[in-house]
A and B are shown apart, each in its own frame.
Chain A
Amino acid sequence: MSSPTRTRRFRGLGFRLTVWSAAVLCAAALGTGWFLYLRLQTGLHKQNDEFLELWSKDFTSLVAQDPGDEEKIKSELQRETSLADQTSVVCRLLRPDGEEVFRSKTFPKHGRDIGAIIAEAREAKGRVETWTARGESSWPHLMTAEAVRSRGRLRYVVETGYHLKRTEWTLRNYRMNLLRVLVPLVVIGIVGGWLLARKSLAPIADMTSTAQTISRASLQKRIPVKGSGDELDRLAEVLNEMLDRIQESFERTERFSSDLAHELKTPLTALKGEVEAALIGDRSADELRVIIAEQAETYDRLNSMITDLLLLARKAPDAARPQFRPFDVRDCAHEAVDTFAPLAEEAQVELSAAYPDRPCEVQGDKSSLCRVFSNLLDNAIKHTPAGGRVSVEVRAGEKCTITVRDTGRGIEPEDLPHVFERFYRGDRARSRETGGSGLGLSICKQIVENHRGSISIRSQPGRGTNVTIELPRAPEHGGPGA
């Protein structure tokens, strides 16, 4: 049961951050300590070496002064080494045959073969290489030996040693101190790393818990942005933007569903009312005929709305494209003007059209694109008061540009961003009276986008509206499906 949780905890970002920061801190401290220790050790050894050299010179020159008088030498050495006792210098004087002439009181029993030392001293120029002697005492000595010659003959070998108590003590002390520092440092590293990880991961935990509480019912919730401008803030902003879009799309869907229900309910209510009116009371055949005729019209309206909705729901432009064929957009404009000229005339609106001389071919479904023209002209004429003007213009540039202009009532700025939404009507009462389902512009947009085109609208209330469509042109001599 707990094992997945445990695994997750040890695999978690927080755990890994803690381990890493502690490890890095420890490694850095350990490295620094070790480096300084080595430097100290080297420095001390060098110092000891120099010290030993000085003493060795001192002793040998003392012996060399008067090599014949052993008693004097012994007393001199005795004096020197007893004085040197505080400075921990020891000395032993050997004859070349290995016989010990003098040995200071604290000279260590280092166990090294005397013959070998003499042989080495005989060969060496100056003093021999130092060695460390570990006698019975707890502190080792740094040892060397030097030959004393007179008239080219080896007379004595002076062994000099330097007690390493202070050096060893210093180094040991240093190691202890290092440990005393390192242990708390590791603890600080772990705790600090954990705190750091917790602090920097806290926003992520916040995000996670906020995201968990966001559901369909609470889509308005947002992840808190700290305002620090860091990567997590950026992530929170991006997620919030995504939530905005999701919320918007949810709300649009919900609005659409409720609008749809409302739009369907209206004609159904009318139908039901008509049926009841027909059933109640005595009615002549003529009266019934009138009622049924009204019902038939309501059925037609319902049917056309459902057809439009199916058209909108069928958003599969790629599936439809194989049926696309090249056609001249001017044909659509022409047909639309033919269709709407009588309506414009009745509405006392001047309808004009301008096309280029050359064909303006696009690849697509002619019937649906012609419908775009019809919808736009229908809208323009409906919303233009008598005496106004409506014009259609087709331009064949790099793209095929279609503009429908009117001098009509225009659209209020607050309505403008919504006009392509389904069922959106700026002024519901008036629009329904003019017969619109509120789907016309959505359908236009969908058709244009299915043809990889774009549609845009500009409007000034009281001045008029411009709708512009841009469609990619068909290749000049491209056959069907090319």
Chain B
Amino acid sequence: MRALVVEDDKRIAAFVRRGLREQSFAVDVAHDGDSGLHFALTETYDVIILDILLPERDGKSVLKAIRADGVTTPVIMLTAVDSVRSKVEVLDMGADDYITKPFSGSELLARIRSIRRRATGQSQAPFNAADLVLDPASHQVTRGDRKIELTAKEYSLLYLLMENAGHPVTRTMIIEQVWDRNFDSFTNVVDVHMSRLRAKIDRDFDRKLIRTIKGVGYVLTDED
């Protein structure tokens, strides 16, 4: 799999590149808009990570040029808090998702997984982790042969965990994805909802699927 990172800050570019390499991506890095556009138009990628504030040519204009050329590669925009006001605006520009700085590597990777899942048309395919199944088509969650009733928030939470099964999900990600906020002022909300979800998913089973990663967030995994 190939990824293009267009980011002028070399430290951020390096850390994104490292994270992607660990997930076995082949990564090209461009430090300005013009060379980023050149890469995007001449090579084929599975995902493009595009900063909005760039020298030479800004991210929005690169995005426009890419889309005008008929390139449909999923694009994730990197934004500072101030540069983009809503998801709608980013999507209107033709991007597939956005992530606000500062972000963690696991957040970015989770976005990539989610986007690739949509891009490859698997969004309605059920998730499996051990005997836990989440079916997006019917909104049904079962463990073994037992049906589990979840609230809307718990369902979204579990969806996020299963979409990123085996990979950590941070609190920031949870707040952004489940509560559609780009701020994190009530972390205890996440903890309480997570503990209720865990009660429903794991309490009556020997095999615990959801684990806490202290200081980071949570992970759903069927490995020991």
Binding site for B on A (CB under 8 A): 289-290, 292-297, 300, 303-304, 307-308, 310-311, 314, 320, 323, 338-340, 342-343, 346, 365, 367, 370-371, 374-375, 378, 435, 437, 439-440
Contacts and interface: CB of A to CB of B under 8 A. Distances in A.
A342 B214 contact: no
Contacts of B171: 300
B81 A307 contact: yes
Contacts of A370: 180-181
A307 B79 CA distance: 13
Interface string B21-44: 000000000000000000000000
Contacts of B196: 342
B193 A342 contact: yes
Contact of A296 (B183, B186, B193, B216): B216
10 contacts: A290-B214, A293-B215, A310-B82, A311-B183, A323-B88, A340-B189, A343-B192, A346-B192, A378-B189, A439-B185
Given A292-B215, A296-B215, A346-B192, A365 B86 contact: yes
Interface string B169-186: 001100000011111111
Nearest to B89: A323
Contacts of A440: 185
Contacts of B88: 323
A294 B214 CA distance: 8
A439 B171 CA distance: 20
Contacts of B86: 323, 365, 367
A314 B85 CA distance: 11
A268 to B, nearest CB: 16
A367 B181 contact: yes
Given A304-B184, A375-B185, 18 more contacts: A292-B215, A293-B214, A300-B171, A300-B184, A303-B172, A303-B184, A308-B183, A310-B82, A320-B85, A323-B86, A339-B179, A339-B189, A365-B86, A367-B181, A370-B180, A371-B181, A374-B186, A378-B185
**Secondary structure class of chain A's binding surface, majority of residues:** helix
B179 A300 contact: no
Contacts of A307: 81, 182-184
A435 B188 contact: yes
B138 interface: no
Contacts of B179: 339, 374
Contacts of B121: none
A343 B188 contact: yes
Contacts of A296: 215-216
A342 B192 contact: yes
Contact of B215 (A294, A308, A338, A437): A294
Contacts of B193: 339, 342
Contact of A297 (B153, B180, B192, B215): B215
Given A296-B215, A297-B215, A323-B88, A310 B81 contact: yes
Nearest to B175: A304
A290 B214 CA distance: 7
Contacts of A343: 188-189, 192
Given A300-B187, A308-B183, A314 B82 contact: yes
A295 B152 CA distance: 32
Nearest to A313: B82
Interface string B110-150: 00000000000000000000000000000000000000000
B185 A437 contact: yes
B70 interface: no
A284 to B, nearest CB: 15
Contact of B172 (A290, A295, A300): A300
Best-buried of A292, A295, A300, A311 by chain B (most CB within 10 Å): A300
A100 B81 CA distance: 124
A290 B152 CA distance: 33
A339 B153 contact: yes
B183 A289 contact: no
Contacts of B189: 339-340, 343, 374, 378
Nearest to A290: B214
Contacts of A311: 81, 183
A371 B185 CA distance: 10
Contacts of A338: 151-153
Contacts of B192: 342-343, 346
A43 to B, nearest CB: 92
B123 to A, nearest CB: 23
